[in-house]
Structure 1
Amino acid sequence: MKTFEQVIKSNASAIQKVVDFDATADQLLPLDFTATNTELTDEILDHTDLFSDWVNKKLSDKDARYGIGGYDEHRTIYSRSAHFDTAEEPRRLHLGVDVWAPAGTPIYNFYDATVQSFAHNNNFGDYGATIILAYEIDGFRFNALYGHLSLASLSNLEEGKFIPAGIKIAELGVKEENGYWPPHLHFQIIQDMQGLKGDYPGVCKFSEREQYLANCPDPNLILEYNFK
């Protein structure tokens, strides 16, 4: 059985974009949300508008089109929401890649898919409007979760609906629609949905890191973001 990485690499020519990006002209900015980033004070994290201003200034200062947030990153920013707290151990390990960009930024489907599910996960700090698409490439089945979308992105969807490669499927939502975050896309690959619909953890306990990363391989195999 081929791995996700092998399947994606062997079909690289058929994988299309998730966001508009010109590698010859557009800049990307890696954004660090671990404890080493001391600029992100509690005051900033506690106020979505201040957090958005911080992200926007970082992008502007570097003339970057998108900010990129890390897969397998142990983040402190989730302390802003009780949604990520549990009695024994908080959830802090990020399982997707974030693409920080303005609200309204178009999101595209990278390969032929069907709608697995969709939902408005409207807890503070949650995904907000969410679409999960199911894929099959060379017999390998997996899912992709697109989170923090606009509510309008959920219109005219139904489970099982065919979504062709290359079409626009969504736009990034404003804070009131995206779980009260600065506008960005959470893009996550999930091999086994484990019976879930409309939602899947995008952040896990560090003690469960290995099992979740095994089920959620690196999305950058599809995004192919390389920093200059």
Structure 2
Amino acid sequence: MNSMIWEERLKAYRTQFSPIVPYEKSDKLLLMDFTAENKELNEEMVKDTERFTKYINNLLSAAGARYGIGGYNECRTIYSRSDLFDKSRPVVNELQHQVVDTKEEPRCIHLGVDIWGKPYTKVIAPLDGIVHSFAFNNGFGDYGATIILTHNMEGNTFHTLYGHLSLNSIKNIQEGDRVKAGDVFAEFGIPFENGQWPPHLHFQVIIDMEGRKGDYPGVCAPSEKEKYLNNCPDPELLLNLNKQ
């Protein structure tokens, strides 16, 4: 089932989903831009977690916003902060017996929505599900503590991924645990446990996990955009944060 069909299904149920973070209609949200259009960002800043965190907090404070949101299908510059997204790999020329250092295509297309906010912000299940898997993806720039839930809608399953959580979020859970809509089951992590990012939640909808557990790409290369967006519908269909 492709993403267009799933989007129609999610739209039909969107008024029934619980908010994913504590949220009142009076709360102000700030749409955040991490593309090349944002001239305030530079590579030196985003590689320094403390400076990057201050930048996020200052933006939220200046806007009087509880959360910063955005990022789906956004080509971002901030992934230059980590080799996880922009690697060089050795390629051997078998005829000349030489190693040629070539650069892989950088990954920059964001496949989820980020919600930037305060450390330990509660994360709430949008609908009933079970714990599919979880992991501590502890590389610099990675998800850190991560939980993936499986949901069933009209006899079809799909998944939601929650990245950049606290280690406490994965401390006492097991695969197969049931989670009900409205349950608080996790919280935003701080840099040492969330992949060295300013506190936020990466939320992603995934149709087919492709055999993966505890992890799924949240960023893809431009050449893979069509494939991944087809498997990862717009999370706003569940979030409803733009509905004020």
Same fold (TM over 0.5): yes
Q: What does residue 90 of structure 2 align with?
A: none
* Structure 1 stretches of 4+ moved >6 Å: none
CA displacement at 1:148 relative to structure 2: 0.2
Q: Is the 2:169–2:185 contact (alpha carbons within 8 Å) kept by the matching residues of 1? A: yes
- Match of residue 197 from structure 2: 181
Counterpart position of 1:226:
242
CA distance in 2, matches of 1:207, 1:22: 39
Distance (Å, rounded) in 2 between the aligned partners of 1:185 and 1:32: 16
Number of the residue aligned with 2:208: 192
The structure 1 residue matched to 2:148, chosen from 132, 155, 172, is 132
Q: Using the alignment, how far apart are the partners of 2:66 and 2:51 within structure 1?
A: 19
User: In structure 2, what is the Cα distance between the partners aligned to 1:8 and 1:210?
Assistant: 20
Tell me, what secondary structure is at the counterpart of 2:172? coil
User: Structure 1 residues 151, 50: CA separation in 2 closer, same or farther (over 3 Å shift)?
Assistant: same
Q: Which protein has the larger Cα radius of gyration, Structure 1 or Structure 2?
A: 2
Q: How many angstroms does 1:3 deviate by?
A: 1.7
Q: More deviation in 32-41 or 11-20?
A: 11-20
Equivalent of 1:17 in 16, 19, 30:
19
User: Does the Cα contact within 8 Å between 1:28 and 1:227 map onto a contact in 2?
Assistant: no
In 1, Cα distance between the equivalents of 2:17 and 2:10? 8
What's the TM-score once normalised by structure 1's chain length? 0.96
Please tell me the residue identity of whatever aligns with 1:111: L
Contact preservation (8 Å) 1:29, 1:227: no
Supply the distance in 2 between the matched residues of 1:127 and 1:168 (Cα, whole angstroms).
Answer: 19
Give unpaired runs (5+ residues) of structure 2.
88-102
Structure 1 residue 81 displacement after superposition: 0.2
Q: Aligned pair count?
A: 227
1:74 CA displacement = 0.2
Question: 1 CA distance for matches of 2:241 and 2:156?
Answer: 23
Please tell me whether the aligned partners of residues 4 and 140 of structure 1 are also in contact (alpha carbons under 8 angstroms): no
Q: Given the alignment of the two structures, is residue 58 of structure 1 paired with residue 59 of structure 2, yes or no?
A: yes
Amino acid at match of 2:148: I
Q: CA deviation at 1:88?
A: 2.4
Q: Secondary structure, in 3 states, of the residue corresponding to 1:114?
A: strand
Aligned 8 A contact 1:7 1:140 in 2 = no
CA displacement at 1:227 relative to structure 2:
7.4
1:164 aligns with 2:164: no
Kindly report the root-mean-square deviation, in angstroms, between the aligned alpha carbons of the 2 structures: 1.3
1:42-53 alignment runs, 5 A limit: 42-53=43-54
Q: Distance in 1 between matches of 2:147 and 2:29?
A: 25
Gaps of 5+ in 1: none
Q: CA deviation at 1:105?
A: 0.3
Structure 1 window deviating more from structure 2 (8-17 vs 97-106): it is 8-17
2:231 matched residue in structure 1: 215
Q: Give the alignment's TM-score, normalised by structure 2.
A: 0.90
